[in-house]
Amino acid sequence: MTEITAPKSPVTTEEFTDRIREQLKYAQGVTPEQATPADVYVASSLVVRHYLQDAWFKTQQDMVNGNTKAVGYLSAEFLMGKQLRNALLNAGMIDQFDAAVEGLGFKPQDVIDAEYEPALGNGGLGRLAACFIDSLASLGVPAFGYGIQYRYGIFKQEFDKDGKQVEKPEYWLANEEPWGHTDYNRSQRVNFGGKVVTKADGSKEWQPEWSVRAVPVDYMVPGYASGRVNTLRLWTAKSYDEFDLATFNKSDYLNAVKPKVKAEDISKILYPEDSTPQGKALRLEQQYFFVSASIHDAIRVFYPGQDKPDLTTFPDKITFQLNDTHPVIGIPELMRVLIDEYGYDWNTAWDITTRTFNYTCHTLLPEALEVWPAKLIGELLPRHLEIIKAINTNFLAELATKTRDKAKIDRMRIVTEGDNPQVRMAYLATAGGSHVNGVAALHSELLKDVTLRDFSDIYPDKFTNVTNGVTPRRFIRLANPRLSALITEGLGTDRWLSDLELLKGLEPLAKDDEFVKKFAAVKQANKEDFAAYAKREYGFELDPNTMFNTMVKRLHEYKRQSLKILALIAKYADIKSGKVNVDDVLPRTVIFGAKAAPGYYLAKMTIQLINNVARVVNNDPDVKGKLNVYFPWNYNVRLAQHLIPATDLDEQISQAGKEASGTGNMKFALNGAMTVGTLDGANVEIRERVGAENFFLFGMTVDEVDKLYEEGYSPAKYYEADPRLKAAIDMVSDGTFSNGDRNTYAPLVADWLTKDWFMTLADFTAYTEIQSDIEALYRQPLEWNRKALLNVANSGYFSSDRSITDYLERIWHTGPLA
Ligand code: CR6
């Protein structure tokens, strides 16, 4: 008997059908006969919202009236992916939806596909935020996600005829968007610019120069089987001055609407940089915009109708998690609100503030920690600059009571000295919050020992780790229904969807050949599905009888897509030169997915190289059926959901000590892919859990990397030492992948040979050597699948439910609503 704990549908198929008809008629204004899949998508979404509405109200009421502290997850990015199917799953209405839609003469998949995915994030950090709010709701913890409703999400990636990345605007709101509810009555004023004046009583008054109206757009965040629905509140910028009447009277219509355009620019576009800061004024405007609106919103929500609320209780009402440094301006903002708007003294305000905020750091690259010029902050937020300077002064005084090491105190300044002082946002966050965490065990150690070493020396108790996780609802149940059914069959329950450690119960089944064969059949069917999808969407011809070897993530030098492509070229060169007999080659389909930041020259050149390697290799009869390379453009959540379940081998090959965690690595392991990877980020913990014998480890460790840097790294040495590496790089130089032009990749080659900042060349030999282990195992399908199954069985730890439970215990000190 299989135990079913999935939520029960609140609605029958007939009711669902009637409701869709009703929405089509009254909201869309079409008959079912006239309706397109997009109409049915909008109608169905409104129906789902209808059935979630009571739970949404109740969750909000219980939150405000009860005494369970809420979580405010402040994040500049929420990479949500499509909403409809996720909401249907969490609310238990998938079957009713499928049947209703079919009854109306539509294919459920067409309706699902009609949704335009909101891509309001760059990569891992934004997707993590989306997984976290899913888990918070599923665990029944009252929470708000607070962010920005950008009008343009991450750019749409295309490739031109030369294989170069082209960025196209992604205007995701071009079509009707049924999930966001714009609540004009709950807007907040956000001020900018101007000056600070000291009043007669000595208090300060900020006299801003301009302001924008932050209007919340609310999204339901339904928990899985929890009966709870939280809120994702994304702010959009509206102008107060619809137009300037004076200008208008002079009949200069276009100039009259200029202020409106400027104000509304604030929430116009997501910055497309990933793991690198963008020192642009507009970016700081965005950060302050959403954080200021969110803080005022929380006060409004938790102290309804109160003019003089007792804000000393604020940290008991809500705890704000700062997702990276992007929302850190919230610390001086809360200080300002408490002191200037509510009249608290500095010490009380500081006590409230430090108890309210916590900070998650998501990087190890020192250059990725945001630093704002004090001058810029002063121009945009003059009062905040004063407060930041005062925080800095107090902080330095406090440090002086804790250490005599003057140099150390100096290194820890929040505001640097000199002609052009800078504000270090990570330091401000560390000083102004209760806890600082890294996102994987290794990362948190390195944060303490390297990046924030001085801080951890003096405030060791502030530092903790919370290893990232991913939601099993979207990334197993929705992405991989076949595997989900098999897991439920194997465990005799579907409870694993809310308690992922139960996957451990699959471990004994790895000894059962029949079960392993079923597992292998799931993977094979997923590969066939993906081949069909890739054909339909991209026109690719993938052979599902080859190994599917995937590398999907942002394009970054530290992630080392170069290592993968060089190894592939080396293989190609081996076959071309006859060093390897083509009949002995294990057939492989290599699939890349990656966006590069538009201004990131070497990353974009790497994309061009991969596309051209694909062009040459896929058209070369000498390697036909053996080596294929595909690069589906515009990697996004939707593509991830199709590709991950179909992957045999996943690449996590960053230079040790550079990938803070990674979350793709977790999604692949949970979907039964094997990983080839370095000891970096969460790879370390994945390997520990799935077993060293079930993970393809290669490459230098953090210590070895450090040592090599110290000794002086010279990449050319490696080029000379490994003839296969030399052959591969020479092939890039000699025009093989650029129609004979030897200059096309010259900058990339020069970088490899003279700089190679992330030591791709030093790890090349180890990486190519591990390939024979990989191929030997793949030639024994039963053994491969046994190990892949053990990866699934032992990856339950990487549920975002577990991450959230860790945050609740170690940092937030709150829990589910009573
Ligand atoms: N780029 C890390 O690089 C981590 C995510 C989520 C990143 C990545 O290793 O898994 O955050 N960091 O914690 C930043 O964005 C700064 C990322 O997504």
Q: At what angle do helices 601-618 and 746-754 cross, to 10 degrees?
A: 110
Q: Which SS3 state, helix, strand or coil, does residue 189 take?
A: strand
- Nearest atom in ligand 1 to the alpha carbon of residue 439 is 13
Closest Cα partner for 802 from 716, 689, 653? Answer: 689
Distance CA 658, CA 613 (A): 27
Ligand 1 proximal residues by C-beta, below 6 Å: 123-125, 128, 274-275, 324, 362-363, 368, 439, 468, 659-663, 681
Distance CA 109, CA 398 (A): 60
What pLDDT, on the 0 to 100 scale, is given for residue 240? 84
Cα 205 to middle of ligand 1, angstroms = 39
Under 8 Å CB-to-CB from 343, ≥6 apart: which residues? none
In order of their start, the domains of the chain are 329-466 (no CATH), 480-803 (3.40.50.2000)
Q: Whose CA is nearest to atom 11 of ligand 1?
A: 125
Per DSSP bridges, beta strands 627-630 and 588-593 are parallel
Distance CA 222, CA 53 (A): 10
Q: Whose CA is nearest to atom 18 of ligand 1?
A: 124
Query: For 744, which DSSP code?
Result: T
- Nearest atom in ligand 1 to the alpha carbon of residue 275 is 16
CB contact at 8 A, 674 and 787: yes
Question: Can you give the three-state secondary structure of 195-230, one letter per residue?
Answer: EEEECCCCCEEEECCEEEEEEEEEEEEECCCCCCEE
Cα 639 to middle of ligand 1, angstroms = 19
Q: Whose CA is nearest to atom 6 of ligand 1?
A: 125
Pocket test for ligand 1, best of 79, 125, 686 (most atoms within 8 A of CB): 125
List average pLDDT for each run of 10 residues in the chain, which is 818 residues long: 92 97 96 96 97 97 97 98 97 96 97 95 98 98 98 97 97 91 96 95 92 97 97 95 63 68 90 89 97 98 96 98 98 98 97 98 91 97 98 98 98 97 98 98 97 97 98 98 98 98 98 98 98 98 98 98 98 97 97 98 98 98 96 98 99 98 98 98 98 98 98 98 98 98 98 98 98 98 98 98 98 97
Long-range Cβ contacts of 348-352 (<8 Å, 24+ apart): 348/312, 350/391, 350/394, 351/312, 352/311, 352/312, 352/314, 352/315
CA atoms within 13 A on the CB side of 693: 6
Closest Cα partner for 317 from 142, 145, 73, 76? Answer: 142
Query: For 478, which DSSP code?
Result: I
Helix then strand then coil, % of the chain, to nearest 5: 55, 15, 30
CB contact at 8 A, 295 and 315: no
Closest Cα partner for 696 from 644, 587, 759, 772? Answer: 772
Cα 398 to middle of ligand 1, angstroms = 32
Rounded to an integer, what is the distance from CA 766 to the centroid of its chain?
30
Distance CA 622, CA 624 (A): 6
Give me the residues paired with residue 360 across strands.
323, 437
Cα 596 to middle of ligand 1, angstroms = 15
Distance CA 628, CA 78 (A): 34
Cα 659 to middle of ligand 1, angstroms = 7
Cα 127 to middle of ligand 1, angstroms = 9
Which CA distances in Å does 263 have to 170, 193, 290, 382, 757?
Answer: 20, 13, 13, 19, 41
CB contact at 8 A, 194 and 468: no
Burial class (CB in 10 A: 0-12, 13-18, 19+), 401: exposed
Tokens at 731, concatenated: 């092939």
Closest Cα partner for 549 from 270, 770, 790, 305? Answer: 770
Tokens at 264, concatenated: 């509304």
What pLDDT, on the 0 to 100 scale, is given for residue 771? 98
Pocket test for ligand 1, best of 73, 328, 661, 685 (most atoms within 8 A of CB): 661
Cα 126 to middle of ligand 1, angstroms = 8
- Nearest atom in ligand 1 to the alpha carbon of residue 662 is 10
Distance CA 405, CA 425 (A): 23
- Nearest atom in ligand 1 to the alpha carbon of residue 324 is 16
Under 8 Å CB-to-CB from 747, ≥6 apart: which residues? 601, 602, 605
At 208, give phi and psi (nearest 5°): -70, 165
What pLDDT, on the 0 to 100 scale, is given for residue 174? 86
Under 8 Å CB-to-CB from 457, ≥6 apart: which residues? 403, 408
CB contact at 8 A, 324 and 122: no
- Nearest atom in ligand 1 to the alpha carbon of residue 663 is 10
Per DSSP bridges, beta strands 627-630 and 463-465 are unpaired
Catalytic residues: 362, 553-554, 559, 663, 667
Burial class (CB in 10 A: 0-12, 13-18, 19+), 425: buried
